[in-house]
Structure 1
Amino acid sequence: MINSISLRFGLWFAGFGILASVVTAAVSYHESRGLLAESAERELATTTQILTREFSSSIDEITKDVLFLSSIPQTAGYFEADNKQVLSAQLKDIFKQKLSLNPSYFQVRFIGAGNFGRELIRVDRVSDGLIAIPTASLEEKSHYPYVFRTLRLKAGESYLSDVDIHNEKGVELGQHQPTLKIASPVFANGKALGLVVVNVGLERLFSQMQADLPEGVAIYLANQKGDYLVNPNPDKQFGFHFGHRYLMQRDFPQMEVLFNDLQPRTFVLDPSALYKFERAVSFTPLFYGPKSSPKMAVLGLSSPLPSLSHIMDSLAGSMIKVCLALSLFGLLTSLFFAKVLSQPIRNMVTAVNSFSQGKLPAAQLLPSERKDEIGLLANTFKAMSRQINKQIVELKDNEINLRHMASHDSLTGLPNRSLFLEQLRGSIHRAQTQQQSLAVVFIDLDNFKQVNDNLGHEAGDLLLKQVATVLRDAIRSGDSVARFAGDEFMLALESISDPEEANEVVNTVLRRLAQEVSLGVHIQPVYASVGISMYPADGDDPELLVRNADVAMYQAKSKGRNQFSYYALELPSATG
């Protein structure tokens, strides 16, 4: 009987069935695990890069604010002015506006080079609002690096401190919190006679970065030496400040090489005593601050992979059951397996190999209509492949959504500051090629804070959405619109052959905004102050045109609001 061809073929086929089942399980397990892990790594790396750009962009925007404050007429002309009290009052109002618009700022100061670096003006954020410090309480700061190093800089340059714990006395909210100081010198008659410095509270920025991440994703941030600035374990944060060194490269040995070659690293960590599930981690170097002396940090994200472990455990159990069933069934029905089931099994192997190579298996290769163990195996494989493909599609959709969120305002759907500057750069290039003019329009809503205070933030949000709709409808085809921050909007008007064309668009915007709009049960007219800068007369790069339009907007606001003003026409002496 042992010499029977049927029995021998049956035994051989049973062995082949076991082998095929094991191969199927192993290939499916390996390829599925690798595919899910790679997808998680790609998504995490994309998220890390987006956070890196957001952090760098935040520092750049703060630096622009400092450079703007150090170059406005009120600071540059303070040292030679006879009406210092008037300029002092104006600067206090400007500082308060910056603090109101930027919740991460907890202090703005104007410091003179004389009198041992005595503070001239200081506005602090306190628990119940903003306060200008009385003259008698101002302090001497010449012994701090951010003072004497900033005074050595050239006009238009900025100083960026290391991230550290703030220990200066006299600050209510920023004391013993992570802070960053950004300063720029104030020049008059070719000499640095003072500086403007902004103290940035990083705790709010770090909290916002964590809040923007999916649940369960941990964030790490270290300085150029690897000392933790942000860590899921608060005891490791700023350990160097208290005499302890907690280094990122010690916790993640794979990271050691990153501090040498400055290349991003993404990998999967096995379960440990602290973490039950596998973790995908991604680290990337982060450069921020002035190009002449940039600062470096390392940003990292860690995401658990419980779904991967669950899927793999379920798949392994299913494969074992299928292997045992096929073995027993093959021994008892050798001839049936030999004649009927050999071809379907080969088809299954082909389908598995196709899937392991990243191709979708042909439907006819999977005998899913069968009601036996082969059908169960086919349906299990089909369900597994559909689940994995669905997760891949979801990961790609999430990646697209993250890119859109990084470049658009979440409330109005308009492009944000970074996307607008990119679009404006393209508009400038087209205007230069076609030898045409370009208008940059800075729109600031008047008394928007009163709407939030009197009607509530929901009414304020509704107002911003309606303003965005008006701006979309008012601009011409080919023009750009964006929400910069808060109640600030920007327009880029291309192909401007005469200022009257820009006047017509701006007048249309002001007229339509002045119409009363419905905010729930309230009726509210909208007014705005508008500043306009022209390319190439007022600048040839996006940042300069936006800054000049901002200056022109303040001129319009000072003339009574709900007006517009041109930078070149209002400030003829500002060039040079």
Structure 2
Amino acid sequence: MRMGLTAKLTTLLACIGILSSGVTGYYSYSANQNLLVNEAESNLLTSTELLSQRFSSLLLDISADALTIGSLPSAPMLVGLGEGPEYQAARARLAGVFATFMRLHPQYSQMRLISRQAHGLELIRFDRDGEAIVQVEGDKLQEKGHFPYVFETLELAPGHVYISPITVNHEQGAHSAEGAPSLRLATAVLGANGEALGVAVINVDLRKFLETLKADLPARYQMYLTNQWGDFLVHPDASKTFAFDKGQRILIQDSFAQTKSLFNDTTPSVLVNGLDDPQRADGKIMAFVRKSFGPPENRQFVVVGLARPLQDVLGSGKTLGHSIIQMVLVFSLLAIALAILFSRALTHPLQMLIHAARRFQTGHTLDEALPVEREDEIGVLARGFDQMRKELKSHLEVMGRTQQELRHLANHDSLTGLPNRMQFFQQMEQAIAETAGTHQQLAVLFIDLDHFKSINDQMGHAVGDEVLMVVASRLRRAVRSDDIVARLGGDEFVVLIRGAGIAPIASSVTRKILGALNERVTLNGAVLQIGASVGISLYPEDGVTAEDLILRADSAMYKAKVNGRRTFASHQAGVLEIEKHQPGPSAEGTLGAAERANAGAEDDIER
């Protein structure tokens, strides 16, 4: 039996419809997988960059602690190997400071003050032994002059910090630090004439350091960390870490060939996923970032990597995959039905024309209707695909907004909405680059609230957060419209000012800030007197890098605190000048006189 025109056309259109539905479903599913993986790669890279920035920030915090220890007035007296009651009193004070630092920083496994004399003899030493803090004294103090962290630190310029490679600590008698992965930071202790008399050394337990670093990572994320040669320091398989300490070399370049470009300094980051390259990243999505630290001339860096299971990413697309399969089946049935209807609709007018022609041939009549107007089903199908496109566009817009929010969170403080430390340093570096070679100047105001810890302790962190938001709002109103206000963390804020003849402008803005912050704050029925101490540094007089300017401003702020608080200090020709700022009448708040005195003592230790 021969197939008629209607049957042939129906079969052809049905096959085309079924094939089109299947191909569309397949490519939709593949495109969905690629979108999910690309989005996951972008988010993972952002997380890795934030993790590396946190690594750098933690090192900066430890460096600041080392510089603080090295700059204490008692340190030069001790490293000079003096004698007498005054020497013993200074030794006791400094030992108390060391013990406080050890209690506040669980990742510090050892803190030492080492003299340049007597072959690098340890003068004060605190070790961590399990959960206990042990002060090592007498004959147990050792000579360390032959270690690089001593003799190299003694050669550093003032204000610089030595950062050692990350190695396994083999120094005997180091208690918990012995045999543990360690990082040492040291700074020189200077005498009155600027000569290096000794060093202050902080040993960091890498395991606890990394626990702090990984605190906010999801449970299924895996972390990688290598030194500047590619040796694994952190790996999901612990047997591959610190292989160089066992006479082996297990390098990240051998495990993931794409990371070679990080060590050639040709690219700052690398992405690998198991969807595009299953042999190199089987079942994972991975991001690696090169992060430099320490002085640029030392070319020290680490490679930080994060990995997450590919299945976690693709799992969210399974529902869509099932929906696509169902959609393909539905559209296939619809294609068959449409093929039948379309073929009949296409052949029916031919039958009408034949019938009309025969009627005209026989009867010469024109009463047979002709199909002059028709409606096709293609419009229905087009509207279906248009609806799919709108939904896909909506999903992409949502993902775009999510990316924008993530970028904003990466650069701004979540509590106050001010730029964070990373964003502020980028803005400072840009401002320095734009100002270099011009008549413009920059000023950095380092602001630290007075007695803020007591507010937190006595009224709770919720009130403390409200105080920080009030401070942020007042700072915005106190500065000029083109000045930059940022929060570094805790109760520390910074302001960046630019212009010609910046010194008097900076002093004027600082007075406005002190006046604004000295105004009373009423929270939950309590009247608080906040107050702040401010340190000022100028570009280029006090430094030509962001780090130098922050350091000078921080040092000036500390001097302002020491000289009575609620005032500001600035560097002038390398000399700190203190300007007294007379606050308004003191308000009766939540802190009594004795409590404010205790809070001041606590702040002195912390600062």
TM-score range for the pair, normalised by the shorter chain length: 0.7 to 0.9
Match of 2:528 in 1: 524
Q: Which amino acid aligns with 2:144?
A: K
Is 1:36 aligned to residue 36 of structure 2? yes
Structure 2 counterpart of 1:321, from 305, 326, 329: 329
User: Could you say what secondary structure the match of 1:196 adopts?
Assistant: strand
Please say if residues 555 and 570 of structure 1, whose CA atoms lie closer than 8 Å, have aligned partners that are also in contact: no
Distance 1:267 1:367 in 2: 46
User: Could you say what secondary structure the match of 1:114 adopts?
Assistant: coil
Please say if residues 21 and 322 of structure 1, whose CA atoms lie closer than 8 Å, have aligned partners that are also in contact: no
Is 1:310 aligned to residue 282 of structure 2? no
Match of 1:550 in 2: 554
Match of 2:356 in 1: none
Match of 1:118 in 2: 121
> Cα distance 1:16–1:420, how it changes in 2: closer, same or farther (>3 A)?
closer
Is 1:301 aligned to residue 306 of structure 2? yes
Q: Which amino acid aligns with 2:314?
A: P
Match of 2:14 in 1: 14
Please say if residues 22 and 323 of structure 1, whose CA atoms lie closer than 8 Å, have aligned partners that are also in contact: no
Please say if residues 119 and 138 of structure 1, whose CA atoms lie closer than 8 Å, have aligned partners that are also in contact: yes
> Cα distance 1:81–1:233, how it changes in 2: closer, same or farther (>3 A)?
closer
Is 1:290 aligned to residue 298 of structure 2? no
Mind listing any 5+ residue stretches in structure 1 that lack a counterpart?
Answer: 341-365
Q: Which of structures 1 and 2 has the bigger CA Rg?
A: 2
Per-residue CA deviation, residues 395-436 of structure 1 (Å, 9 max, x unaligned), is 333332333223222222222233333333455566666635
Distance 1:290 1:570 in 2: 22
Please say if residues 21 and 332 of structure 2, whose CA atoms lie closer than 8 Å, have aligned partners that are also in contact: no
Please say if residues 178 and 201 of structure 1, whose CA atoms lie closer than 8 Å, have aligned partners that are also in contact: yes
Structure 2 counterpart of 1:399, from 387, 403, 412: 403
Structure possessing the higher relative contact order (Cα contacts under 8 Å, 6 or more residues apart): 1
Shift of 1:116: 3.0
Match of 1:150 in 2: 153
Distance 2:290 2:412 in 1: 25
Match of 2:52 in 1: 52
Per-residue CA deviation, residues 336-386 of structure 1 (Å, 9 max, x unaligned), is 47589xxxxxxxxxxxxxxxxxxxxxxxxx98984xxx58xx64x566545
> Cα distance 1:120–1:568, how it changes in 2: closer, same or farther (>3 A)?
farther
Match of 1:181 in 2: 184
Please say if residues 66 and 186 of structure 2, whose CA atoms lie closer than 8 Å, have aligned partners that are also in contact: yes
Aligned length: 539
Please say if residues 441 and 492 of structure 1, whose CA atoms lie closer than 8 Å, have aligned partners that are also in contact: yes
Match of 2:581 in 1: none
Distance 2:128 2:476 in 1: 36
Q: Which amino acid aligns with 1:16?
A: I
Shift of 1:468: 1.7
User: Could you say what secondary structure the match of 1:491 adopts?
Assistant: strand
Distance 2:263 2:256 in 1: 12
Mind listing any 5+ residue stretches in structure 2 that lack a counterpart?
Answer: 349-375, 578-607
Shift of 1:101: 8.1
Distance 2:241 2:74 in 1: 40
Shift of 1:203: 4.0
Distance 1:41 1:227 in 2: 24
Shift of 1:443: 1.9
Per-residue CA deviation, residues 209-235 of structure 1 (Å, 9 max, x unaligned), is 434445644332233454433344566
Please say if residues 278 and 306 of structure 1, whose CA atoms lie closer than 8 Å, have aligned partners that are also in contact: no
> Cα distance 1:536–1:105, how it changes in 2: closer, same or farther (>3 A)?
same
Alignment of 1:223-234 (within 5 A): 223-232=227-236
Distance 1:509 1:289 in 2: 34
Alignment of 1:434-449 (within 5 A): 435-449=439-453
Please say if residues 80 and 197 of structure 2, whose CA atoms lie closer than 8 Å, have aligned partners that are also in contact: no
Q: Which amino acid aligns with 1:41?
A: E
Match of 2:602 in 1: none
Shift of 1:187: 4.9
Please say if residues 119 and 139 of structure 1, whose CA atoms lie closer than 8 Å, have aligned partners that are also in contact: yes
Q: Which amino acid aligns with 2:2?
A: I
Distance 2:530 2:332 in 1: 75
User: Could you say what secondary structure the match of 1:116 adopts?
Assistant: coil
Structure 2 counterpart of 1:511, from 504, 509, 515: 515
Is 1:160 aligned to residue 163 of structure 2? yes
Per-residue CA deviation, residues 417-471 of structure 1 (Å, 9 max, x unaligned), is 3333333345556666663554322222222222222222223222222222222
Moved more, 385-394 or 247-256: 247-256
RMSD: 4.3
Q: Which amino acid aligns with 1:40?
A: A
Q: Which amino acid aligns with 2:517?
A: L
> Cα distance 1:287–1:31, how it changes in 2: closer, same or farther (>3 A)?
same
Per-residue CA deviation, residues 290-329 of structure 1 (Å, 9 max, x unaligned), is 2122233322222331345405631552255146425643
> Cα distance 1:32–1:512, how it changes in 2: closer, same or farther (>3 A)?
closer
Per-residue CA deviation, residues 99-136 of structure 1 (Å, 9 max, x unaligned), is 78877555543321222322234467899999977678
Alignment of 1:164-243 (within 5 A): 164-165=167-168, 178-188=181-191, 192-213=196-217, 216-232=220-236, 238=242
Please say if residues 78 and 123 of structure 2, whose CA atoms lie closer than 8 Å, have aligned partners that are also in contact: no
Alignment of 1:413-428 (within 5 A): 413-428=417-432
Alignment of 1:330-341 (within 5 A): 332-333=340-341, 335-336=343-344
> Cα distance 1:479–1:260, how it changes in 2: closer, same or farther (>3 A)?
closer
Distance 1:305 1:332 in 2: 42
Please say if residues 289 and 304 of structure 2, whose CA atoms lie closer than 8 Å, have aligned partners that are also in contact: yes
Distance 1:126 1:519 in 2: 44
> Cα distance 1:487–1:130, how it changes in 2: closer, same or farther (>3 A)?
farther
> Cα distance 1:132–1:111, how it changes in 2: closer, same or farther (>3 A)?
same
Match of 2:458 in 1: 454
Match of 1:350 in 2: none
Please say if residues 120 and 135 of structure 1, whose CA atoms lie closer than 8 Å, have aligned partners that are also in contact: no
Distance 1:213 1:108 in 2: 29
**Structure 2 length normalisation: TM-score?**
0.73
> Cα distance 1:560–1:145, how it changes in 2: closer, same or farther (>3 A)?
same
User: Could you say what secondary structure the match of 2:415 adopts?
Assistant: coil
Alignment of 1:132-147 (within 5 A): 138-147=141-150
Distance 1:14 1:465 in 2: 66
> Cα distance 1:503–1:454, how it changes in 2: closer, same or farther (>3 A)?
same
Give me the identity figure in percent: 35
Shift of 1:204: 4.9
Q: Which amino acid aligns with 1:477?
A: S
**Structure 1 length normalisation: TM-score?**
0.77
Q: Which amino acid aligns with 1:297?
A: V
Q: Which amino acid aligns with 1:267?
A: V
> Cα distance 1:77–1:496, how it changes in 2: closer, same or farther (>3 A)?
farther
Moved more, 494-503 or 524-533: 494-503
Distance 1:530 1:261 in 2: 40
Distance 1:338 1:204 in 2: 77
Please say if residues 29 and 321 of structure 2, whose CA atoms lie closer than 8 Å, have aligned partners that are also in contact: no
Distance 2:347 2:78 in 1: 98
> Cα distance 1:429–1:333, how it changes in 2: closer, same or farther (>3 A)?
closer
Distance 1:98 1:318 in 2: 63
Shift of 1:77: 7.1
Q: Which amino acid aligns with 1:199?
A: N
Please say if residues 11 and 334 of structure 1, whose CA atoms lie closer than 8 Å, have aligned partners that are also in contact: no
